[in-house]
Amino acid sequence: MNTVDFLLIGGGIIGISIARELKSRHPDSSVCILEKEHQCGLHASSRNSGVLHAGFYYTADSFKARFTREGNQRLTEYCEAKKIKLKKCGKLVVAQNESELVWLDELMIRAKNNGVPLKSISVEESRTIEPRAKTYQRALFSPTTSSVNPIELVKSLLSDAIQEGVQLKTNVQYMHRLGERSIKTSDGIFEAKYLINVAGLYADKIGKDFGFSKDHRILPFKGLYLYSEEPPSALKTHIYPVPDLTNPFLGVHFTITADNRIKIGPTAIP
Ligand SMILES: Cc1cc2nc3c(=O)[nH]c(=O)nc-3n(C[C@H](O)[C@H](O)[C@H](O)COP(=O)(O)OP(=O)(O)OC[C@H]3O[C@@H](n4cnc5c(N)ncnc54)[C@H](O)[C@@H]3O)c2cc1C
C-alpha cells in the first residue's frame, strides 16, 4: 500500500499546478500525482489553442473571470522568467452583423467589471491592427491576450513540480474507490489524506465514486485545427468571432502560435 498526504488523479496542467501549490503551502507533506499515460499533459493540456486568455468572457463575480485575469498575469510572468516563448499578439473580437454588436457591448462591460483592459475600436482601427480582419461597424481589441506553446509550458511546470518535491507516478490509472481514503489503481492500492480529482474528461466518473456530480456528466467534444501554409507572421493578432455566451465555446478562431504559425479551429464534434 502507498500512503501519501495529497494524492492527485491526473497529470494535466491543472493537476500539476495544484500539486505545486499544495507543496509550496505544505512543504512537509507528501504530494503525489497519478497519471494514466506514460507522460503528463498528453490530453487537453497540450492539445489546445495555447491562448492565454485575458478574462473578459465571464461575469466578474465568477471564479472563472478572476482566475483567467490572474492566470494571464501569473503565466505571463512565469513564461518570461522561464524564457518560455510567449507571443504577445493581442486579440481582435470581430462582429459579423448588427445582432452581434450587443454582445460586444456585453463583453466590454464584463471586461470593465473584471478589471481587464479591452478597447472598443472602429473598423479602421481594426484594419490597422490586422488588415485582413473584417468586422461590422466595430470590434474589440484585447492587448493582454497572448499565446504560448502549451507543451513547453506543461513540461516546464512539471519539471518545477518534480524539483520542488512532488512525486509523479506515470502509467498508473485510477480504477475505483475502495474506502473512505483509499483507491485501487493499476499499480496497487493508494491511501491519502486528501484526494484531488483532476482527471480532465474523466473527472465526472471519479467524482461519482465519491458521491459528487450525481446529476452531471461530461460530454466530450473532439476539436480539430487546420494549420495555414502561409509564411510565419502572415497574421498579426488572434481573431475571434463574437461568442454565443449561452454556450461554452468561444467559436472557431484564428490563432497565432508561439512559433508564429497560424491555425484555425477548433471544430467541436460531439
Ligand atoms: C480544443 C481545445 C482548445 C482549447 N484552447 C484553450 C486555450 O487556448 N486556452 C486555454 O486556457 N484553455 C484552452 N482549452 C482548455 C484547456 O486545454 C483545458 O482547460 C485544460 O487543458 C484542462 O487541463 P486538465 O489538467 O484539467 O485536463 P487534462 O489535460 O485532460 O488532464 C487530465 C489528465 O488526467 C489523466 N487521467 C484521466 N483519467 C485518469 C485516471 N483514471 N487515472 C489517472 N490519470 C487519469 C489524463 O490522462 C490527463 O493527463 C482548450 C481546450 C480544448 C479541448
Pairing label, strands 86-87, 146-148: antiparallel
pLDDT of residue 210: 95
- Cα 142 to ligand 1 centroid, rounded to whole Å: 25
Give the whole-angstrom CA distance, residue 92 versus residue 131.
12
CA dihedral 241, 244, 248, 253 (to 10 degrees): -10
pLDDT tens for 14-57 read: 999 999 999 999 999 999 999 999 999 999 999 999 999 999 99
CATH 3.40.50.800: does it fit domain 2-46+151-209?
no
Residue 199 CA: nearest ligand 1 atom is 34
* Architecture in CATH for domain 52-148+222-265: 2-Layer Sandwich (3.30)
Give the whole-angstrom CA distance, residue 179 versus residue 181.
5
pLDDT of residue 249: 82
Give the whole-angstrom CA distance, residue 195 versus residue 189.
13
- Cα 133 to ligand 1 centroid, rounded to whole Å: 30
- Cα 160 to ligand 1 centroid, rounded to whole Å: 19
Percent of the chain topping pLDDT 70: 100
Mutate to test the pocket of ligand 1, among 175, 195, 202 (most ligand atoms within 8 A of CB): 202
- Give the pLDDT mean for 74-87: 97
Residue 248 has pLDDT above 80, yes or no: no
- Give the pLDDT mean for 228-244: 93
Q: Whose alpha carbon is nearest atom 3 of ligand 1?
A: 48
120 lines ligand 1 (CB under 6 A): no
10 lines ligand 1 (CB under 6 A): yes
- The domain ranges of the chain are 2-46+151-209, 52-148+222-265
**What's the mean pLDDT when you consider all of the chain?**
96
Beta strands in the chain (DSSP E): 2-9, 31-34, 51-52, 86-87, 91-94, 119-122, 138-142, 146-148, 167-169, 174-177, 182-185, 188-197, 226-227, 238-241, 253-256, 262-265
Residue 186 contacts residue 173 (beta carbons within 8 Å): yes
- Cα 5 to ligand 1 centroid, rounded to whole Å: 24
Residue with cell 512539471: 158
pLDDT of residue 246: 80
Residue 105 has pLDDT above 90, yes or no: yes
Cite the DSSP H helix spans in the chain: 13-25, 63-82, 101-113, 123-129, 150-163, 203-209
pLDDT of residue 150: 97
pLDDT of residue 12: 98
Per-residue burial over 91-103, b = 16 or more CB atoms within 10 Å of its CB, e = otherwise = bbbbbeeeebeeb
pLDDT classification of 180: cutoffs 50, 70, 90: confident
pLDDT of residue 232: 83
198 lines ligand 1 (CB under 6 A): yes
12 lines ligand 1 (CB under 6 A): yes
Residue 78 contacts residue 17 (beta carbons within 8 Å): no
Residue 264 has pLDDT above 90, yes or no: yes
- Cα 44 to ligand 1 centroid, rounded to whole Å: 3
Q: What does the block give as the cell for 238? A: 488572434
pLDDT classification of 189: cutoffs 50, 70, 90: very high
Asked if residue 232 has a cis previous peptide bond (ω within 30° of 0), the answer is: no
pLDDT classification of 172: cutoffs 50, 70, 90: very high
Which amino acid is located at 226 in the chain? L
